[in-house]
Every structure is written in structure tokens, then in C-alpha cells.
Amino acid sequence: MPPNAQQPTTDESNVIDDAKTSVTVAVHQLFERYANKPADNLGPDRIGPHGVLELLEDLGIGSTDRKVLILAWLLKAKIQCEFTADEWNDGLVALGVVSIDDLRMVLEKEERILEKDASKLKTLYRFTYTFGKPEHHRKMDCETAIVYWKILFEDRYALLDAWTLFLRVQQIDVIKSDVWNLVLEFFEQIDANLSNYDDEAAWPVLLTDFVEHIRKEKCAVGAA
Amino acid sequence: MLLCHHYREETSHVVMMNHRQGGAPSSSGQSAGRMRIRSIPTAMDEKYVTSIWELLKKAIQEIQRKNNSGLSFEELYRNAYTMVLHKHGDRLYIGLRGVIEEHMRANIRPCIEEAIEVKMEVHLLETLISVWNDHTTAMVMIRDILMYMDRVYVSQQKVEPVYNLGLSIFKDEIIRWDLVNERLRREMLDMVTRERQGEQIDWILLKHGSTMLSALGIYEAEFEQHFLSESAQYYKRMGLEFLAENSAAEYVKRVETCIREENDRAQRYLDSSTRAKILAVVDSELIEVHMKSVVEMDGSGVSHMLNVNLLADLQRMYTVFHRVTNGTQVICQAVSSWVRQRGEEITHPENQQEELKKDPVLYITRLMELEERSETLLRDAFQEDKMFKKRIYDDFTHFINLNNHSAEYLTIFLDEKLRKGNRVLREAEIDEAVNRCMTLFRFLGEKDIFEQYYKRALAKRLLTDRSASDDSEKAMVSRLKTECGYQYTSKLENMFKDRELWNTIQAGFRDYLNVYDNRMERDPCEIVVRVLTSGVWPTQNITLTCSLPIHAEQSWKSFQDFYQKKHSGRKLTLNTFLGNADVKAVFFNPLRSANDDSSQQEEPTPSQGPYRPQHFTENHKILNVSTHQMTVLLCFNTKNVFKYSELGDATNITERELQKTMQSLSMGKASQRILVRKGTTAKEIAQNDEFYVNDSFTSKLVRIKVSTIADAKSSTPKEAAVLKERVEDDRKHEIECAIVRVMKSRKRLEHNNLLTEVLYQTSTRFKPTPTAIKQRVEALIERDYLARDKKDPKIYEYVS
């Protein structure tokens, strides 16, 4: 390297700038494709639900696919089925995505990473709560929570169905953030047959009730 | 006896020899002390040695034959010394042994054989002791003669000293010969058995026997071992016999006796080491094996003793069983279950006697009796044993808390003592009762419920001036403060503070009236107001105030003005559920004319003006009524007849209260019926029922107290529910405060530790379940007082 090449030369910086601008331009163009749909009626600075739907079609992912959540998370979206221009631009530029194909690949890659990286998953999980509940509410309502759990976990955890049933039977209306957070830990740590559940530990009351419930059922089944 | 003479070794052998032959004394002085001349022992010839030995041998035999008087100690000693000095110690020693053995075999054994032949009861023992004594005496003398050999030869050759040699030979040749040891043992053990069965025996013989065996070093193997095992068998049998024949108390007495006897026996004639061992055997066979059966014996065991209060027997059992490990534990167990049973008879919701369900005072009294009884037992029978104390304490805690009315009943009991009632109690009696109550109070798990009930009862007493003794009341409160801390009693003390101010405020009001207000002159309705600080007194929340009659209203306003001047920031609300009034009433008793056949009083109708019967006499009375009653009655100054619903509108008294008020005024005893209800006699008052003044009202008294519907002694289920709710809310608050307190000081704490800390903090008032605490923790997390640690959700952090 030439001795006075610590700083990029005007030429090189131009190249970088060019590269940058071309990315920004591409991203912006992508934004334009989905934003400002008349059906959404949200103005030129947002992609609305219809736009999102089209985006998903182009990406080839279903609306209940986990990758939707991942996308929202990566873009740090605030409101469901909406992306602001800033969210979109900043997010995609940071990811280095310039086309739909790029986006698709990134999402798939991220999904695979999440399968392995527990702490990242935790971040996504916690994000989901804030994202999934209405903006100015403190708590998420139960049905929404159930939907998101299904999206996030699919069939990974055997206890999820029992949990869902329990919540509905008990007519739980609202899931507090504390409970939401610990549900992940619960599913990750506790066996399907509850063998390693510690009564003395600090699980929220709702979870302890759930465990009680399962145990009672087991007894009833065993007796029958 | 022989003299004891000891030659000095330094004396030269040669010199001595010369001395004997009568030769001129050489320079013995020279060698005798200053210089040590090592003498070369001249060889002694065989014949000489033999002759010396023969001399000694004969002498020894004579000693053994007890013919020692003619012997010269000095000569014998000298001879022995000579032999040893000339290195013939071997011969001497071996020879000695031979002689002793010979003596045993030739002389002693026949004796023994004869003794055995005779087969008399203790003949063998006697004979043995006799020969033993002879032998030991002889051996002492022999030892003295041969002392030089002991000192020099024995220690060099490391063989047994002379005396011990004698003992060994006796042991081997006599005791361990021909089963003498077994026969001996048998004789001795039989003697013991006979003594146990009550015979007199020659125990001195036994003592000597023990001593002999000990000296021979075979006491344990030959005697003690067998003694202990036979005794164990004996007591095994005896144990079963005792058990079969006797009551528990008798059994214990027997055991005591056996212990005493064995102790005595061991001290008298057995080796000292045996005492502890035989007592251990007795303890084991008589106590350890059977203690459970004895304690649980039907009809005479601990249970029975407790029922009939046999304190002495219990104490004896305790002392005796204390000897073995876990002995007292068995008793403790039995006592504990008895106490628990008695307790549950009183408190268990299903098991308790009928009468106790309705009578709180009896319930508490019974508990106190049981408590006192337990204290007596502990003191007199069980020597304040800590284990017993704790057990009984736990039992009381258990059954008192089985019944969740315990706290309430206790307050009712206390109320009875502290209230002015029919029985006038002296202060000492009240204090005694309070003491007993505090003892029971300590067992309560839910002390906060007690506080609620006590507060209510105290408030009632104070407001209706029914306290028997102020000092006793205050003493009680300070007792509670000592037990539970300042917070517990702060409200109670505030009630007293309020009360103390009443007179002061009233006096101030009077002055105020004289100076400022002439309203009172216009409408003299004297009012006495007691001011209660809200939140301190457990009175109901007043949502609707009833509309007071005009005069009362004016007086009330007057007081309010006065009070506001004094305390401008405070708001006064009149509680019309309390308080009473003296109402002047004029009844126009109708006179019955001779023509008047109607048995019923004429009824007034609404349309008339003030109703008067045709002929009447005025009957002036003063009625002491409650505030609500007053309000209702004064309505009748405006109209003759009122419907129930109209009264409701006019007075604004709440429905339930109005029912009660109307019932008390119209449906009570004849001497209480101020109003008449038209038409029906149904229990419930209907909206359209009509009322008018009972002008026929008469009474012997001029001033009549009209009673209100009294509250039941113990709370109705509804009241109990209200109280319970209040307690629950209080508890939630308490738990949260405790959690915050703990977290504030610890900053970070693990879940289980937090639970422990909170339990400790609330323990003086009640015991929250872990779930309850968890719920409060979650609530606090919701409200951002606490947060979970991001990495480990079991740890909580304080959010400042």
C-alpha cells in the first residue's frame, strides 16, 4: 500500500460514496414499490398492510410465517403491518439488502441463526411482546399472545398446546410482560413431563397454576 | 513375726565370708562405703548351692504349712541373696515355682475336691476363699524372703515377680483345674439369684470371691461376663412378668426397686466396675425394651395417668425413663397426643362438643383450663423438660389454629372481662384473665384477625362507656404492644387518645356557646359530640347521612362551626348509626268511657290534624332512643300517620337500618312499643305499612330506654365476611410493604431468600403462603417496584 494511503483518496471515497448512494437508492426504490398504496391510505412515508401483503407475496412467505416477525424485528418496526420509511431504509441499508432476493436470503439466514442462538431468540421474543400489543397498552391480550407463540414456536414445545388450552379454559384475558418473558424460559427449561420443575423456584403464579393443572390432569388420567 | 533386715549390696562377699568364719575383721571399714571394690564372685560349688536351696525350700514349705514362727527371716533372706548373687537366680526361681506348684497339687487340690464332694451350698466358695487367704499370706512372706531376687533377677530376666508368680500358679493350678472355675461361678451366681428372690445370703463371701478373682485378673472372664448375661436373662423374664401382672405405675415402681437393689448389690460385693454395667443391663431389659408398652398400656398408661391427673406416677415414670436414651421421648409422644386430643375436642370444627360451637366464652375457658393443666404437668411431673415444653407448645399452636374462630372468640372472652356487666370483677381478677388470654394469644397464627375483632370490641366498649376499668384496658393494650410491636397497637392507642379529648372538646364547646352563639338560647337542644379520628375507629363508612330533625341539625351545625374554628383543616362527618338522644314525649292516653266497647284504640287517620283521642290524659315520658329512632319519632310531630316508604324519604335512613329502627319501635315488647303498625303482624316491614304513635303507651318508669336490635355476640356470616375482606386487604398491603422493605435494603435477592425474609417480617401478624407472596411480588413487578434479573429470573432487583 502506498505510504500516504491511510485515508481513502478522493477517488476511493467517491467509490464508497457511490456504493452507498446506490444502495440507498435501491432501497428507496424498493420502498416506493410498496409504500403509499391507496388502499392503505397512510401517506407516502409508510408501507401499510396491503403493501406488506404484496411484499410478503413477493418474498414468498406466508403471513403467519415466523420470518414476518423476524423482518419486523430486524427493521425495528413499531406497528404491526406497517413500516415507516425510516424503519425500512435504515433497516435494509444496515442489512445490506438491495433486492427482494437479498431480503429473502437474509430472512432465511436469520431464521437459521435464531434456531441456534438462544440469546438472539430471547431478544426477538421480547421484541414480539412490545410489538404485538397495541401501542399504548401496557399488556398484551391473551389471544394475540397465543397467536404469536404459535408463530414463534410452532411445534417445538410439546407443552404449548396444553398451555394454550389452559389459558382459554381459565379465561385469562391478559398476559403481563413478566409472564410473557418467563414463558420462554419455562418452555426452554422444563421437560414435557414436568420432571424438572422446581416448586420452590420463582415462576409466576400463572405458570405455577398451569403446572398444578397438568399434574392434576395426570393424576386423574392415571386413576381412570 | 520375722524381722525385716536388708543387707547393703556393697558389702563384699568375701568380707562376709571371712566374717562368718570368725576371722579377723579386715579393713571392712575401707570397702564399706568409700570405695567400691568389685568383688569377683568366687565360684560356689554345687553342693553348697544345693544346700542353700534345700534350706529355702523347706522354709517355704513350712510357711505354706503356716509353720513360719520358728524361721529366721534374716537367715533366709541372706541365703536367697547369696544364691542370686552367685548367679543361681535361675535355680532359685525355678525351684520356687516347683515348690508352689507342688503345694497346690499335693495339698490344696485335695481340699477342693473334698469341698466339691460335700455339695453343700457354698462350700466350694468358702473353701476356696480360705485356701486363697492362706496362700496369699504365705506368698507375702515368701516374697519378703526373696525380695532380692525380685529386685535383681526378676527385673533382669523379665519374668514374673514372686508374688505374681504365686497368683498365676494358684490361678492355673486351682481355679483353672477340673472346672473349679465353673463350679465356683455357679455357686456365686446362684447366690445372687437367691438374693434377688429375697433370700438372705452371706454376701461377704461373695465379696471375697470377687476380690480374689479380681486379684487373679480373671474377674471379668470368669465372673462378670456371666453375671451380666445371666442377669440380662433374668431381667428379660422379670420384665415380661412385671408387664403382665401390673399396671403401668406399678411397673415403674418395680423398676425403681430393681435399680435400687442392683445398685446396692454391686456396691456391696461386686467389683466397682460392674456397677455401671449391671445398671445398664437393668435399664436395657426393663426400661428400653418395654417402655413403649408401658407408656401405651391400656387403662393405666400415660393416657390414663393424664386423665386422672396422677402426677406422682407421671413424675416417677419420667425420672426412671430418663435413664435411657429416648426414654422420655416416648412419654413425650404420648403426652403430646393426649394434649392434642383434648385440644381438638375443644377446637376441631367437626369434633368439638355442641355447646362449644355457640358459646365462645366457654370455648376459651376450656382452652385456658387445658393450658393451665399443661403447665402444671410440665412443672410437677416433667421438670420443665424443654422437649416437652416445645412439643406441647406446638400442639397448642396446632389445634388452636384448627378453628378459625379462635381469634374472634378470644376477643369475645376478653370483652366479657373488660366490659361492665352483671358480674363485677375486681381488677386483680381482670388482670389474671388478661394474663391467661395473652398465653393463648401467643398461639394464634392469625393475629391480625384478632386485632380487627379486638379493635371493634374495644371501640364498642369505649363508645358506649362500658369499660369496667380503664387501667385494665390500657394494661391489655400494652401487653399486646409488648407481644407484637408498636404498629399492632397504634390504632388502639389512638382510640384512647381520642377519647381523652372528648371531655376537653365538650368543655370548649360549652364555652363557645356561651360566648359566641346564641342559637342555643333560641332552640335549646343540647348536644354532646364525640369526635373520632377516621381510620382509627372501626366504624362503618357513612355514605348517606340521615336527615336530622331541625333542632338537632342546628345544634350539630353549631358544633361544626365551633370545631372548624379550632381545626380549620378537618372535616367532620356525623355518624348517625351511633349516638343516642333523650326525647321528651307526650302520650295522650285515651280514657275509656263506660260506653266504649271497642277494645281497639281508635286509629288516627292522615287527614286529621294533630290527633287526640276523645278523652285523654297527658302522659309525659322521656324516651332514650338512638339517633335514627329519634329522627323517625320526630317525624310524627308533623303528621299522624306515615307509610314506611314515606319515613324512608323523610329521614334518608338506609333501608336495612330503617327496618331495624322501625322494628325496634313498633314490634318489641309492650313496654317498648312507641309506635303502632297498622294491620299486619308480619315480620318484614313492607313499603306500604303504616305507622302511628301509640298513644296508649304507658310505663311505670318516667324515663324509658328504647332498645335497638342488638348485634349478635359473635358476628353474622356477613359481618365475618366483611371483616375477612378487610383483613385480606390489610394482608396484601402488609406483604407488599414487607417485600419492599426487604428489597430496599438488599437490592438484589434470590426468590427463596425473599420468601424467607418476608415470612419472617410478617410472622408476628400472620403467616402468608408462598403463593400469596409470589402474587404480591408479581404485582410489584407490574408496578415497576421490582424487576427480574435479566440473566437469572430467580433473582429480583429493587428498582429505585
Q: What is the pLDDT of residue B686?
A: 82
Chain B CB contacts of A200 below 8 Å: 751-752
Residue B102, all three cell numbers? 507342688
Mind spelling out the 3-state secondary structure of chain A? Answer: CCCCCCCCCHHHHHHHHHHHHHHHHHHHHHHHHHCCCCCCCCCCCEECHHHHHHHHHHHCCCCCCHHHHHHHHHHCCCCCCCEEHHHHHHHHHHHCCCCHHHHHHHHHHHHHHHHHCHHHHHHHHHHHHHHHCCCCCCCEEHHHHHHHHHHHHCCCCCHHHHHHHHHHHCCCCEECHHHHHHHHHHHHHCCCCCCCCCCCCCCCHHHHHHHHHHHHHHHHHHHC
Alpha carbons B106 and B98: distance in angstroms, whole number? 12
DSSP strand pairing (B616-626 vs B703-705): parallel
Q: What is the pLDDT of residue B592?
A: 67
> Looking at CA atoms only, how far is residue B800 from chain A in angstroms?
18
Q: What is the pLDDT of residue B49?
A: 85
Q: Inter-chain contact B794–A182, Cβ cutoff 8 Å? A: no
Is residue B697 within 8 Å of residue B620, measured between CB atoms? no
Chain B CB contacts of A178 below 8 Å: 778, 781-782, 788
The complex scores an ipTM of 0.72
Q: Inter-chain contact B751–A182, Cβ cutoff 8 Å? A: no
Confidence of residue A2 (pLDDT cuts 50, 70, 90): low
Alpha carbons B76 and B82: distance in angstroms, whole number? 10
The whole-number average pLDDT for the span A150-164 is: 85
Which runs of consecutive H residues, i.e. helices, occur in B401-469? 406-418, 427-441, 447-463
DSSP strand pairing (B748-750 vs B703-705): unpaired
Alpha carbons B497 and B749: distance in angstroms, whole number? 41
- DSSP bridge partners of B624: B582, B705
Chain A residues with CB within 8 Å of chain B CB: 176, 178, 181-182, 185, 200-202, 204-205, 208
DSSP strand pairing (B703-705 vs B786-788): unpaired
Chain B CB contacts of A205 below 8 Å: 771, 774-775, 778
pLDDT tens digits for A183-206?
Answer: 888 888 888 888 888 877 788 888
Chain B residues with CB within 8 Å of chain A CB: 750-752, 771, 774-775, 778, 781-782, 788, 793-794, 796
Q: Chain A residue closest to B781 (CA)?
A: A178
Question: Which residue of A205, A209, A212 to mutate against B (max B Cβ within 10 Å)?
Answer: A205
Phi, psi dihedral angles at A45 (to 5 degrees): -95, 5
3-state secondary structure of B93: helix
Is the pTM higher than 0.80?
no
Q: What is the pLDDT of residue B552?
A: 83
Q: A86: which residues sit within 8 A by CB, 6+ positions away? A: none
Which residue pairs, CB below 8 angstroms and at least 24 apart, start in B63-66? B63/B138, B63/B141, B63/B142, B64/B99, B64/B100, B64/B103, B64/B107, B64/B134, B64/B135, B64/B138, B66/B134, B66/B138
Q: Chain B residue closest to A185 (CA)?
A: B793
Distance of CA B311 to the CA centre of its chain: 16
Write down the residue that cell numbers 439369684 correspond to: B193
Alpha carbons A58 and A65: distance in angstroms, whole number? 14
Q: Inter-chain contact A201–B794, Cβ cutoff 8 Å? A: yes
DSSP string, B495-520: HHHHHHHHHHHHHHHHHHHHHT--HH
Q: What is the pLDDT of residue B318?
A: 92
Is residue B335 within 8 Å of residue B306, measured between CB atoms? yes
Q: B53: which residues sit within 8 A by CB, 6+ positions away? A: B83, B88, B91, B92, B95
Taking the alpha carbons at both ends of chain B, their separation in whole angstroms is 105
Q: What is the pLDDT of residue B4?
A: 37
Write down the residue that cell numbers 477340673 correspond to: B178
Q: Inter-chain contact B775–A205, Cβ cutoff 8 Å? A: yes
Residue B693 burial (C-beta neighbours within 10 Å; 0-12, 13-18, 19+): buried
Phi, psi dihedral angles at B580 (to 5 degrees): -140, 170
Q: Inter-chain contact A208–B788, Cβ cutoff 8 Å? A: no
User: What is the interface size between A and B, counted as CB pairs within 8 Å?
Assistant: 30
Using alpha carbons, select from B766, B767, B763, B773 the residue that is nearest to residue B736.
Answer: B773
User: Would residue B217 be called left, alpha or beta, if left means φ above 0 and alpha means ψ between -120 and 50 degrees?
Assistant: left
Q: Chain A residue closest to B776 (CA)?
A: A205
Query: CA A54, A59, A65, A67 torsion: positive or negative?
Result: negative
Q: Between the CA of residue A114 and those of A70, A100, A126, B96, what are the distances in Å? A: 9, 21, 14, 104
Residue B683, all three cell numbers? 315480620
Q: Could you list the mean pLDDT of each consecutive 10-residue stretch along chain B, which spans 800 residues?
A: 39 39 43 50 74 88 85 87 86 90 89 80 83 91 89 87 91 86 89 90 90 90 91 92 87 92 91 90 90 88 90 91 90 92 87 78 90 92 92 92 87 85 73 88 88 87 82 87 83 87 87 70 74 79 72 84 86 82 85 56 62 77 87 86 86 83 82 79 80 84 80 63 84 92 91 91 86 90 86 84
Using alpha carbons, select from B333, B295, B340 the residue that is nearest to residue B314.
Answer: B295
AA identity, residue B223: F
Which of A202, A205, A208 lies closest to B793 in CB terms? A202
Using alpha carbons, select from B753, B761, B737, B757 the residue that is nearest to residue B796.
Answer: B753
Chain A CB contacts of B778 below 8 Å: 176, 178, 204-205
Alpha carbons B416 and B397: distance in angstroms, whole number? 24
Question: Which residue of B735, B749, B752, B778 to mutate against A (max A Cβ within 10 Å)?
Answer: B778
Alpha carbons B173 and B164: distance in angstroms, whole number? 14
Q: Inter-chain contact B771–A208, Cβ cutoff 8 Å? A: yes
Chain A CB contacts of B771 below 8 Å: 205, 208
Question: Which residue of B757, B794, B795, B797 to mutate against A (max A Cβ within 10 Å)?
Answer: B794
Chain A CB contacts of B752 below 8 Å: 200
Chain B CB contacts of A202 below 8 Å: 750-751, 774, 788, 793-794, 796
Q: B744: which residues sit within 8 A by CB, 6+ positions away? A: B798
Angle between helix B447-463 and B486-515 (nearest 10)? 20
Cα dihedral: B371, B377, B383, B386 (round 10): -40
Kindly state the DSSP code that residue B419 receives in the 8-state scheme. B
Question: What is the enclosing helix (H) or strand (E) of B655?
Answer: helix B655-666
Q: Inter-chain contact A202–B781, Cβ cutoff 8 Å? A: no
Is residue B627 within 8 Å of residue B546, measured between CB atoms? yes
> Looking at CA atoms only, how far is residue B732 from chain A in angstroms?
15
